[in-house]
Amino acid sequence: MAGIKSFLHLKPLPLKIRPMHNTADHQNLQRSSAGLVRLLRPKQWVKNGFVLAPLLFTGLFLDVAALKQALIAALLFCIASSASYIVNDIQDIERDRLHPEKSKSRPLASGVVTVPRAVALLCALYGVLIVGWWFEPKVVLVIVGYLALNIAYSFVLKHQPVIDIFSIAIGFVLRVLAGAVALDVPVSGWMFTTTLSLALYLAAVKRGQELSQRGSDSRQVLKKYSKALVDRYAEMSATCAVVFYSMFVMASKHELVATVPLVLFGLYRYWYVVDVLEGGESPTDALLSDWPLLITVLLWIGTCAWALWPHLD
């Protein structure tokens, strides 16, 4: 009985509850993971839609094999463009830390992602492209040229007036070339010149908006430009884009005549977004934020697909 009473009078030992995980570490991991995703800039993948242009204009979009090849090429270009953004962000990290907006929005400049993690992600992307060589060697060869161009741009070319604008534009031309190589089809010279002119227009507008909104101190190369000069570049490039596209349609794609007004309206609307709504520094943001412009692009794609729809005899 004495033993039982002693047992009944025993005081329960205090329980130590240990957390399943460290909340702060978990939050940091989430921030870092989200930062890595932002470092890839997936929203900018919209630009890689240019890779699919040959698929649309050749009328092969109903061919399953061709569609697969074009989508693989577009995916590889998404990976390559993300890799180029990482290289550029690593190169510009110190300058971005002094920028009022980029110091908060850029994962590297804000400290959300460390440089070693960014380099590891960059190596992983390059690894995927190496694997892609086994499936699409010709496409990856074009991508190697694109990567080399962007590395040169990040370190040298973006500081050279006029060359910087053409470097951006050539990147879009290489996207179209990759799409054509993936399908093993020739691309009209009109298509290349139209793409180059449109890309020059977008690049010139981007430089103009940077000058207007942030001044010449935001980029070293902007000190060598004037607003009037880049506006003339934009006007000339837009004119060339319309002329070359119209000549392309008249020369080889008469069924696309109905798309010419859509192209004109799209350029007019984009210029409205730039001048009145103060967009244009990011063409992707301008496209995704302005519904009339987005609808115009979708109508253009739909009209092209309808006009070029394969007809079985």
Structural domain contains residue 57: yes
Indicate whether 236 belongs to any domain: yes
pLDDT value of position 275: 85
Domain extent, residue 122, equals: 44-184
Q: Are 298 and 288 in contact (CB under 8 A)?
A: no
- Residue 280's pLDDT is 61
Residue 313 domain flag:
no
Q: Give the tokens for residue 74.
A: 């577009």
CA 299 to chain centre: 21
* C-alpha–C-alpha distance, residues 215 and 102, integer Å: 15
Instruction: Confirm whether 6 is domain-assigned.
Output: no
Q: Is residue 7 part of a domain?
A: no
pLDDT digits (tens, 9 = 90+) for 210-269: 888 877 777 889 999 999 999 999 999 999 999 999 999 998 889 999 999 999 999 999
Residue with more model confidence, 198 or 217: 198
- Same domain membership, residue 192 and residue 180: no
- Residues 48, 145: one domain? yes
Distance CA 51, CA 174 (A): 8
| pLDDT bucket at 281, cuts 50 / 70 / 90 | low
12 within a domain of the structure (yes/no)? no
- Identify the CATH number of the domain in which residue 162 sits: 1.10.357.140
pLDDT tens per residue, range 40-57: 999 999 999 999 999 999
**Is it the case that residue 16 has pLDDT exceeding 70?**
no
Lookup: tokens for 217: 């101190």
Q: Say how far apart CA 242 and CA 248 lie, in whole Å.
A: 10
d(CA 25, CA 111): 15
Same domain for 166 and 192: no
Q: What percent of the chain has pLDDT over 70?
A: 89
110 domain residue, yes or no: yes
20 located within any domain: no
Whether 103 and 117 share a structural domain: yes
Residues 6+ apart with CB under 8 A from 176: 50, 51, 53, 54, 187, 191, 192, 195
pLDDT at 22 over 50: yes
Is pLDDT at 3 greater than 80 in this prediction? no
Let me know whether 302 and 171 are in one domain: no
- pLDDT for residue 25 is more than 80: no
Query: pLDDT digits over 111-132, tens only?
Result: 888 999 999 999 999 999 999 9
pLDDT, averaged across the chain:
88
What's the structural domain count of the chain? 2
Query: 236 is written with which tokens?
Result: 């000339």
Mean pLDDT of 92-113: 82
Q: Is the dihedral of CA 164, 169, 167, 42 positive or negative?
A: positive
